C-alpha cells in the first residue's frame, strides 16, 4: 500500500505537468499608439498549429501600470502576452478589458490573474452574467477540442468588474471609454475608446480580412454598434481579428454586414429560401470572398440574417 501511495505521489507532479500544453512561440509586437502595442493574431480558425491563437491582444502602458485588452484564448496565449509586455516595461499589469464572451478573446485572463492577483478584470455586466451561466466553460472545452488539446491547462477566469455603456475609467492618467450596443456581434460586446492614444478597440464588432461567427449576434445591432464606434473622433481602430486600420477598414466590415442584410431582405421578400439566395448574395459580396473564413461562414451568415429578417416580419 505504501509503495502504491508513494508511486502516486511521485506521479502527481508529472500528471500536473502533462495537464498543461506547451507554451506558444512569441508573435511580433507592433506599436500602435504613443503608449500602446498590439500582437496581431493569425487569421485562421483555432487549430493545433496556431494553438488557438487568432485574436488581437493589445496593451497600454500607463503611469500606474499596464492595461491589457483581450489577452487571448488560453493560458499559454496570456503568458505569451505577458512576455511581450515584459519586453517593453517592468511595470505590473493593473487591469484587463475583455471585449466579449467568445473565449478566443479572454481565456488568457488566467495567466494575468496568476501573475498579478490584484489586477482588475473588466467586462460588460452581461458578460459577467454569461460566465456565471457556464458560457466560459463551454468555450474552454471548445478551444480544447478545436486545438486538439493545445490549450490544455486553461481555466475559466471571468471578468470581476462590470462595465456599462458610457462608463469612463481613468487608469494611470489614461482614460478609457466603454461603448456598448446590445445584440451586436454577441450580447456582451464592449468597445474601448482611448482618445489620448487615438485608438479604439472594437472587439469582434469589426473584423478585417477574416470572418467569424454571427451565431450570437444580430446584423442590425452589429451595424448600429459600428455606427456608434464611428461617432468617435479616433482615427485608428483595432478589429477583433485582422490588421489594424482606419475608418475605411471599419466601414468596409459595416458594408459587408449591411449589403448582406439588405440583399437577404430583398430576396426574402421575393420568396427565396436562404440556400436559394446564396449565389446572388455571394455575387453581391465579391469584394469579400478572398477574406479568410468566407466559404465557411457565408452560408451561416445568410441563415442568421434570414432568421432575423423573418422574425421582424411576423
Residue closer to Zn ion, measured from CB, 35 or 45:
45
Residue closer to Zn ion, measured from CB, 222 or 232:
222
Helix axes 247-269, 274-284, angle to 10 degrees: 140
| Phi, psi at 96, each rounded to 5° | -135, 135
Residue closer to Zn ion, measured from CB, 36 or 188:
188
Restricting to residues 106-145, which ones interact with Zn ion according to CB under 5 A?
Answer: none
Q: Residue 261 Cβ, how far from Zn ion at the closest point, in Å?
A: 18
Residue closer to Zn ion, measured from CB, 139 or 268:
139
Q: Residue 260 Cβ, how far from Zn ion at the closest point, in Å?
A: 17
Q: Residue 98 Cβ, how far from Zn ion at the closest point, in Å?
A: 11
Q: Evaluate whether 223 touches 184 at the Cβ level (below 8 Å).
A: no
Restricting to residues 188-217, which ones interact with Zn ion according to CB under 5 A?
Answer: 204
Ramachandran bin of 292, using left for φ above 0, alpha for ψ from -120 to 50, beta for the remaining angles:
beta
Q: Residue 242 Cβ, how far from Zn ion at the closest point, in Å?
A: 13
Ramachandran bin of 198, using left for φ above 0, alpha for ψ from -120 to 50, beta for the remaining angles:
left
Residue closer to Zn ion, measured from CB, 70 or 204:
204
3-state secondary structure of 161: strand
* Total interface residues for Zn ion by CB under 5 A: 2
Q: Residue 186 Cβ, how far from Zn ion at the closest point, in Å?
A: 6
- Sole binder of Zn ion in the list 68, 80, 98, 102 (CB under 5 A): 102
Residue closer to Zn ion, measured from CB, 40 or 204:
204
Q: Evaluate whether 207 touches 214 at the Cβ level (below 8 Å).
A: no
Where does this chain touch Zn ion (CB under 5 A) — which range of 62-70, 82-90, 94-102, 109-117? 94-102
- The C-alpha cell 467569424 sits at 212
Where does this chain touch Zn ion (CB under 5 A) — which range of 33-41, 95-103, 124-132, 218-226? 95-103
Residue closer to Zn ion, measured from CB, 197 or 204:
204
| Phi, psi at 237, each rounded to 5° | -125, 140
Cell readout for 175 is 482614460
Going by C-alpha positions, the residue among 294, 48, 35, 269 that lies closest to residue 174 is 35
For the residues of 181-232, what is the DSSP string, one character each? -TTSSSS--EEEEEGGGTEEEEEEEEESSB----TT--HHHHHHHHHHHHTS
Q: Residue 28 Cβ, how far from Zn ion at the closest point, in Å?
A: 23
| Residue 301 contacts Zn ion per CB under 5 A | no
Where on the chain is the footprint of Zn ion (CB under 5 A)? 102, 204
Amino acid at each position: 500500500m505504501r509503495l502504491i501511495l508513494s508511486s502516486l505521489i511521485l506521479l502527481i507532479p508529472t500528471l500536473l505537468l502533462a495537464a498543461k500544453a506547451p507554451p506558444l512561440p512569441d508573435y511580433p509586437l507592433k506599436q500602435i499608439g504613443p503608449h500602446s502595442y498590439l500582437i496581431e493574431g493569425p487569421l485562421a480558425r483555432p487549430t493545433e498549429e496556431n494553438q488557438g491563437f487568432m485574436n488581437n491582444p493589445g496593451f497600454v502602458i500607463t503611469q500606474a501600470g499596464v492595461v491589457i485588452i483581450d489577452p487571448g484564448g488560453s493560458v499559454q496565449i496570456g503568458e505569451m502576452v505577458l512576455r511581450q509586455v515584459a519586453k517593453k516595461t517592468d511595470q505590473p499589469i493593473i487591469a484587463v478589458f475583455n471585449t466579449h464572451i467568445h473565449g478566443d478573446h479572454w481565456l488568457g485572463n488566467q495567466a494575468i490573474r496568476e501573475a498579478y492577483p490584484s489586477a482588475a478584470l473588466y467586462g460588460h455586466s452581461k458578460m459577467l452574467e454569461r460566465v456565471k451561466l457556464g458560457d466560459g466553460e463551454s468555450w474552454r472545452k471548445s478551444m480544447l477540442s478545436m486545438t486538439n488539446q493545445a490549450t490544455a491547462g486553461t481555466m475559466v477566469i471571468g471578468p470581476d468588474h462590470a462595465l456599462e455603456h458610457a462608463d469612463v475609467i481613468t487608469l494611470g492618467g489614461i482614460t478609457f471609454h466603454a461603448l456598448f450596443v446590445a445584440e451586436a456581434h454577441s450580447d456582451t460586446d464592449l468597445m474601448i475608446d482611448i482618445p489620448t492614444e487615438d485608438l479604439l478597440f472594437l472587439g469582434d464588432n469589426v473584423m478585417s480580412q477574416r470572418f467569424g461567427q454571427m451565431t450570437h449576434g444580430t446584423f442590425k445591432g452589429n451595424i448600429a454598434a459600428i455606427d456608434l464606434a464611428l461617432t468617435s473622433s479616433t482615427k485608428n481602430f483595432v478589429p477583433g481579428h485582422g490588421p489594424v486600420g482606419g475608418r475605411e477598414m471599419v466601414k468596409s466590415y459595416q458594408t459587408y454586414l449591411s449589403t448582406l442584410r439588405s440583399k437577404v431582405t430583398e430576396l426574402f421578400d421575393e420568396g427565396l429560401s436562404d440556400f436559394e439566395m446564396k449565389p446572388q448574395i455571394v455575387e453581391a459580396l465579391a469584394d469579400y470572398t478572398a477574406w479568410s473564413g468566407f466559404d465557411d461562414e457565408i452560408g451561416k451568415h445568410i441563415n442568421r440574417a434570414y432568421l432575423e429578417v423573418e422574425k421582424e416580419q411576423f
